[in-house]
Chain A
Amino acid sequence: MSAQSPPRGPTVPRTRAKKAAGRTATFRGARWVDERIGGAKFARTALNKVFPDHWSFMIGELALYCFVTLLLTGTYLTFFFDPSTETTTYHGSYAPLRGVEMTRAYRSALELSFDVRAGLVMRQIHHWAALLFLATIVVHLARVFFTGAFRKPRELNWIIGVTLLTLAIFNGFAGYSLLDDQLSGTGLRIAYSIALSIPLVGTWVTSLLFGGEFPGADIIERLYVIHILLIPAAITVLLAGHLYLVVRQKHTQFPGPGRREDNVVGERMWPTYAAKAVGLLFLTVSVLSMLGGLVQINPIWVFGPFDPAQVSSASQPDWYMGWLDGALRIMPGWEIRAFGFSIPNPFFPAVLLAGLTFGLLYAWPFLEARVTGDHDLHHLDDRPRQRPVRTALGVATISFYAICFLGGASDVLSTTFGLSVNAVLWTMRFALFIVPPIMAWATYRLCKELSARDGVPTASQVDWREIPHRLRHGSGPDDGDADENEDDDDPAAAPAAS
């Protein structure tokens, strides 16, 4: 530990600590703050927080660092972007569009790409960061799901997490719809039709959001406020709550020697974990910058300005909306009339499926607790193989949405592999109902086999409550040394500084 770090605890004599650290500016600064507004206790608690040392617990951090990158690059973009649907003529440096009429929004996006210094690389990093923000959120969600880290007492944090995912999806869509190129306009057109298909309130919702019939004069301005202010603020607040709950309730951990329901074994925030976290931040930003600098994304100048009368083939949304687009394509063209009203076709794949998806995600911790009758506190994670039913359902769900996504790419798949687009679509229609059960069965068998090989019974063979108990009693030496949080069983109790 270097001389820069604040004194660790009362075991160090006060005078010695003063002598050792009092010389440094850091210490004097810290004391100056502490004497005025306090915070030493909080800082000590925070710096002593123990992080479990399995790599998969850092995946959520990737999403956090993607969000940080999004905020930084997004701020840069706001300096140059003009969210206006006012018509103007382009006279910038991209010759193939010179003299073409377009909105100011699209013109400023072109200028960002061709005339603003570092504008294009910032735009590309921003877009890649958005794709990876969503991807890392999904991987993080999968980790939490498959290890059962959402169980009591962490249901609230699961709910916050799912809300963050939906907000991130909405913000991604709002973001790429701002540029007013052909592709984003096509996406808005589909969103308009989906909103219109909601029974009873559809027409009201669309005219409220778009400010009239499509394309609507106000939509870009409104999406801009939503994209750069409302949703990022909501994400920031919820993220703070998400992290606060992680500190308050502590991390879960995998069972192992010395790891019990009432401790966390791993590394302290200071100095080890802080170094890891900062390292990961830099690595994340490097990967995003590398993609943004080397791989072209969303070349809006090729798509041209949006014209509601035109559409390009191979128009797809970004991947995190792709499953919805796929559901729209996979759904047969049925129109259903009920009670004298017709229910528009997009309602089923786009509104009902999306509602079910997020409804089930929100409800999962409670559904599972209800089915298993498990209402106990859990701080030790499951290994996926120990819960074959949950793991099988998770894998089946992932395959369902993967097939939806492939359905959304049906025309790209058929041109790339020389197939008939109808054949691809019909394949997806059948696969949607055939593949998930097969995946579920295969996963279930795999979990059973792996558990049998381990010699650990799975949840269905024994009372699940025995598993942590067994692991606790069959564990190795009790590592009650420096890096263990010696808190009592109740995770809601104030974290004690060890």
Chain B
Amino acid sequence: MNHADQPERRHRRHRRLALVSVLGGVVGLTFLVVGRAPAGADSDLEAHGRSLYLEGCVSCHGTKGQGVGGSGGDNERGPRITDAGAAGAYYMLSTGRMPLNDPNEQPHRKDPAYGPKDIDALVAFVASLGHGPALTKVDLADASLANGGLVFRADCQACHSASGSGGALSYGRAAPSLREATPEQVAAAVRSGPGQMPVFGQGDVDRKQLRDLVAYVQYLRHPSDRGGLAIGRVGPVPEGFVAWSVGVVLLLACVFWIGTRSPIRSRPGANADADADADADAHTNADSDADVGSEP
């Protein structure tokens, strides 16, 4: 058995050696070509990203981000991502939406599968695949909340709701809550339009507007909550729920408390007539009603 295996192993070893030498050659050539400039660090990052990509993403998005078709239609397994850009990749990876366990699943926010360095590498690689939107750095120092609110109400609240709590779209899709979105993620989502979301380019939301918008979304994470406990901030449905489950219940408890005769009162302290009545009631009334008798 061992003898039979040995040639196989030798073959593998040869293949590995060949691969390493080829890779080494490529890396060496790259170094020769671009030298030790900062761009070299980028392509390092890209190469690291490529290897991560070929491990974790290739099965759905294809080797060059062209997407993978299933048995039925085009790109059923995973969409084309050549123009997702750095913004699209950053949004999907940093919010944990990608990778998906199951291609039929709706992506939703979870803990990111990759660390920050790996995400940077993957973002660099995906950006190199086509001409997608770049990551936008937002400096919130001079942002105007009022202006951001105007943009938010015009472009975002129809799906994400005025309070940023998210909302339902048709057939099980949903606009996510913005309560956990970081400034970079909001900016990336606006520019790349993930999922059902439209892409908002420079013409729709310019740089200043984007900065203000991001500031407003950050504000919505912790808005001025005057007036006490914020019950979901999704309008009158939870308010109606509280009105019935707390308000009506408390008021009925008050009514029951005030309107029900305490049984102790018809004992020794009460006058003789009332006692007689209570006794008589006990004999004649088979019902379990507590409110019998007519004492003062």
Contacts and interface: CB of A to CB of B under 8 A. Distances in A.
Interface string B139-159: 000001110111001100111
A301 B224 contact: yes
A479 B284 CA distance: 13
Given A56-B259, A272-B296, A476-B281, A302 B223 contact: yes
A83 B150 CA distance: 23
Interface in A45-99: 53-59, 61-62, 94-99
Contacts of B26: none
Given A53-B261, A54-B259, A319-B239, A99 B158 contact: no
B227 A95 contact: no
A57 B259 contact: yes
A317 B171 CA distance: 24
A318 B294 contact: no
A295 B168 contact: no
Nearest to A477: B280
Interface string A315-335: 111110010000000000000
Interface stretch (A148-156, A387-395, A416-424): A416-424
Most chain A beta carbons < 10 A, residue from B256, B273, B296: B296
B37 interface: no
Interface stretch (B38-46, B81-89, B285-293): B285-293
A311 B168 contact: no
B295 interface: yes
Contacts of A288: 247
B251 A284 contact: yes
A42 interface: no
Contacts of B239: 131, 297-298, 318-319
Interface stretch (A159-167, A224-232, A239-247, A480-488): A480-488
A57 B124 CA distance: 73
Interface in A414-432: 414-415, 418-423
B227 A299 contact: yes
A183 B172 contact: no
A96 B216 CA distance: 8
A475 interface: yes
Contacts of A124: 227-228
Interface stretch (A213-221, A253-261, A365-373): A253-261
A414 B174 contact: yes
Nearest to B154: A310
Contacts of A479: 277, 293-294
Interface stretch (A18-26, A194-202, A275-283, A337-345): A275-283
A476 B280 CA distance: 7
Nearest to A481: B273
A128 interface: yes
B199 interface: no
Contacts of A464: none
B20 interface: no
B111 to A, nearest CB: 18
Contact of B255 (A62, A257, A309, A314): A62
Nearest to B226: A120
B227 A423 contact: no
Given A296-B229, A476-B280, A483-B294, A415 B168 contact: yes
A483 B246 contact: no
B28 to A, nearest CB: 52
B200 to A, nearest CB: 16
A135 B249 CA distance: 11
Nearest to A305: B153
Contacts of A191: none
9 contacts: A59-B252, A135-B248, A182-B162, A258-B294, A287-B250, A302-B163, A311-B157, A414-B174, A482-B296
Given A284-B251, A302-B223, 4 more contacts: A131-B239, A272-B296, A319-B244, A476-B292
The 9 A-B pairs with the shortest beta carbon distances in the complex, nearest first, are A319-B240, A55-B259, A313-B167, A476-B284, A420-B172, A296-B227, A312-B162, A131-B243, A421-B168
Interface of A: 53-59, 61-62, 94-100, 113-114, 120-121, 124, 128, 131-132, 135-136, 139, 182-183, 254, 256-258, 265-268, 272, 276, 279-280, 283-284, 287-288, 291, 293-299, 301-304, 307, 309-319, 322, 405, 408-412, 414-415, 418-423, 454, 474-477, 479, 481-484
